[in-house]
Amino acid sequence: MKFNTPRLNTTQAAAFIGCASSTLRKSRVTGKLLGQSTPVYRKMGRKVIYDKTVLDVWLDQFGTRNSTAA
């Protein structure tokens, strides 16, 4: 899936960060996603929009690792 647009709907945003869209929807209620605060979103009527740049920053908090060894 390509993400050429700067704004993503819930399904696109979930695919972009690597979770199910239902998980992303639920996180808007709980305030937590993958143990972190939920990414900021915009609500336009019934439509929810995520800015791709915000999702990039949100993903950066996890950092990168060479292996799963402690």
pLDDT 10s digits, 31-59: 999 999 999 999 999 999 999 999 999 99
Residue 16 to residue 31: CA distance in whole angstroms: 19
Q: What is the pTM of this model?
A: 0.83
Q: Is residue 25 part of a domain?
A: yes
Q: Give me the domain span that covers residue 20.
A: 7-60
pLDDT at 2: 64
Q: Name residue, tokens 């704004």.
A: 7
Does a structural domain hold residue 68?
no
Taking only the tens place, the pLDDT of each residue in 7-27 is: 999 999 999 999 999 999 999
Total structural domains in the chain?
1
Within-domain flag for 69? no
The answer as to whether 2 is a domain residue is no
* Strand, helix or coil for residue 48: strand
> At 70, is the pLDDT very low, low, confident or very high (cuts 50, 70, 90)?
low
Q: Is residue 54 part of a domain?
A: yes
